[in-house]
Amino acid sequence: MTRTLLALSLACALGPAFATSAPDAVAPADTKSDTPMQVRQLGTVDVTAALDQARNALSPDTGSSQYVIDQQAIAQLPLGQSTPLNQVLLQAPGVVQDSYGGLHVRGDHGNLQYRINGVIIPESISGFGQALDARTIRSVKLLDGALPAQYGLRTAAVVDITTKSGHQLGNGGSVGITGGSFGTLNPNVSLWGSSDRWSAFFTANYLESDAGIENPTASRKPIHDHTNQVKSFGDVSYLIDADTRLSFLFGSANNRFEIPNVPGQQPQFGYLDRTAFDSALLDARQNETTRFGVLALQGKLGGSTDYQVSLGQRYTDVDYMPDRVGELMFNGVASNVTRSNRASTLQADFATPLGDAHTLRYGLYGSFERAGSGNDAWVFPADADGGQTSTTPIEILDASRLTAKTWSAYVQDEWSLNEAWTLNLGLRGDRYRLTRTESQLSPRIGLVWQATGSTVVHAGYARYFTPPATEMITSENIARFDGTTNAVPDLGNNTPLAERSDYFDAGVQQSLGAWTFGLDAYYRKVHRLQDEGQFGSALVYSTFNYAQGRVKGAEFTVNYAQGPLSAYFNLAASKAIGERIITSQYNFDPDDLAYVNDHYIHLDHDQKLASSGGVSYALDERTRIGADYLFGSGLRRDGAVPNGDHLPAYFQLNLSVSHDFDFGRFGDLHTQLAVLNALDRSYELRDGSGIGVGAPQFGPRRGVYLSLQKDF
């Protein structure tokens, strides 16, 4: 096998809940089902089902890999619907966990695209707050590999969420609470309903905990790590006629975090006449806010062309508030860092069948972003060697605003060659303008072979163009810090560049009775490889580029589902390397830059092996027990060379039991008891070393949580 197909990947699923599936067009039967049913009478249930089916026809995944998790699968996780979205996605193959809730899919740092009901939701500023709630999810697909031309810009994976709706659920609601270890309290409420042509779904929850961010020490309970979070989501739709639906999606997240402390540290600088400071008493905080709204019109043109057109806006900001005296004494700089971004978007997708063998899909996307960054920094005067020359701090103000414009267009043809073969050909164009204009035409090709009734083979190639995340770019005036304890050398280009890559993917899926197996291989050759690092005290990421990179990996999954028992297993192997840092060099140690300039190194988020799995068993109609686990061979840390070693491997086991109690006229009360990290193994996600790595972070210690939920 050639080097371009060294990686192997296999997807697995948990019964009807977790499902690895082949592309929609693998079998003629599936292709036919993409044609929406014709509804002549305005019966809201039938019309809604037809429109949902038409919306799926607008979003093909021919030739790519997909992993489906539905609401039943989420309910079977130890925390059920209280599970954070990033923890839900960790059940998919090839997904690796990182600190601050970060995820890496197939060797990428982030680069995830989120869609809700087919509509792109612009990403939020990097941080550690989860803006989306698992309670909104009817099903979620993780799409990766060689994606069709419809998908671009953020291409490590597409997180495609289908939300619950009033037409699906009827009229009712749910109220519940989860509480347990580390002062966790998480009440929630959901309401849904439909009336004639109207449908609505709304959910909100509040979370407080004394373990908001990963603990920087191995202690059981972190110091100064309280969080308060409020999240909400709504979906209101109106059926204009049998072929047309108007929907409004909206959501918000307001998250407040204390930054956890490491006791026993010694100050490196003096402040006025003060020389001592207890590091356990530092009081740094970070606030994150996200709001979004999307108005979408879905319908049919000329009786055959399905369309969905949407207008959206997302606003997000981060505010890091330092402990001024403490951070000056420990770091020589205390910065109040603010970042904000407002993105206005237009998206239009169309699908037109051309005879029995072809489906033409085409569309466009536009984004207009205004991003702001501010840095109110206090530093000490310093000599040429960086030595403190005065204990009286000085203030340096730095602020910038950026405007970015993105335009994209695509066209693709899904061609059913015969009953066994489907070919998807596409071309995508992207144009990104910030301080400079970058653009690319990207061909895509995907081929699916239905070898037998139980065997599906796919292969694909995609050319990708990935602009830098505008909200992560700062244009700091480095020269302002000359002669201070925050001075850094200006070593080159400080504006990140768009990434360009060639992606090859091939795989097979085999069903044998109650078993499903899958295998997938991928290789990515990258120019101007983008990576992200946490630089400074604020817990937000900034983008930089390697001149070139290579990413390859392997994923194996197996799924079993029969009767009361279901189980899944994922195993992924990957390798991600890069050479020569060409942007934002001021963030790095000059010795590291010199080494990386002519040597390939592992990316800081590279992890050789990752595995997840779980089992669920229904003892009877009301009682279920389950277990799942996460395994990782360890992210990178410095060794003899930058990122030259990896952290020790870790294994986290989670257990759960649920039971529905019958209280007669009161109805059923759902209860679920979860034990996370049941073995209480202390493990380190990061040790603070490595290219672009901030403070150490440890995984969660053992926690016991009880959930109560009542539907009405």
Calculate what percentage of the chain has a pLDDT beyond 70.
Answer: 89
Q: List the structure tokens of 549.
A: 């990179």
Q: Helix, strand or coil for residue 270? A: coil
Instruction: List pLDDT tens digits, range 650-680.
Output: 999 999 999 999 988 888 999 999 999 999 9
Q: What is the pLDDT of residues 311-350, one digit of tens each?
A: 999 999 999 999 999 999 999 999 999 989 999 999 999 9
Q: How far apart are CA 495 and CA 583, in angstroms?
A: 6
Contact by Cβ (8 Å): 602, 577: yes
pLDDT at 474: 63
Cα–Cα distance, 686 to 534 (Å, whole number): 12
d(CA 271, CA 277): 10
Q: What is the pLDDT of residue 31?
A: 32
- Do 660 and 176 contact (CB within 8 A), yes or no? no
Task: Quote the strand ranges of 101-171, DSSP E.
Answer: 103-105, 112-116, 119-121, 137-144, 157-163
Q: Tens digits of per-residue pLDDT, 86-133? A: 899 999 999 999 888 888 999 998 888 999 998 998 776 655 557 788
pLDDT at 258 over 90: yes
Residue 478 banded pLDDT, cuts 50, 70, 90:
confident
Average pLDDT over residues 224-232: 95
Mean pLDDT, rounded, for 566-594: 91
- Residue-wise pLDDT for 68-94, tens only, equals 888 888 999 999 999 998 899 999 999
Of all helices (H) and strands (E), which one includes residue 697?
Answer: strand 697-698
- Please give the pLDDT value at position 473: 66
CB atoms near residue 592 (< 10 Å): 18
Stretch 502-508: mean pLDDT: 94
User: Which CA distances in Å does 182 have to 207, 210, 253?
Assistant: 12, 5, 22
pLDDT given for residue 620 in this prediction: 93
Q: How far apart are CA 68 and CA 559, in angstroms?
A: 12
From first CA to last CA, the distance across the chain in angstroms is 57
What is the structure's pLDDT at 101?
81
CATH superfamily of 3-711: TonB-dependent receptor, beta-barrel domain (2.40.170.20)
pLDDT tens for 264-320 read 999 999 999 999 999 999 999 999 999 999 999 999 988 789 999 999 999 999 999
Task: Say what the pLDDT of residue 44 is.
Answer: 64
Contact in structure between 69 and 81 (CB atoms under 8 Å): no
Beta strands 112-116; 157-163: pairing state: parallel
Out of 6-10, 93-97, 496-500, 506-510, pick the least confident: 6-10
Count CB-CB contacts under 10 A for residue 401.
Answer: 11
**Tell me, what's the pLDDT at 588?**
85
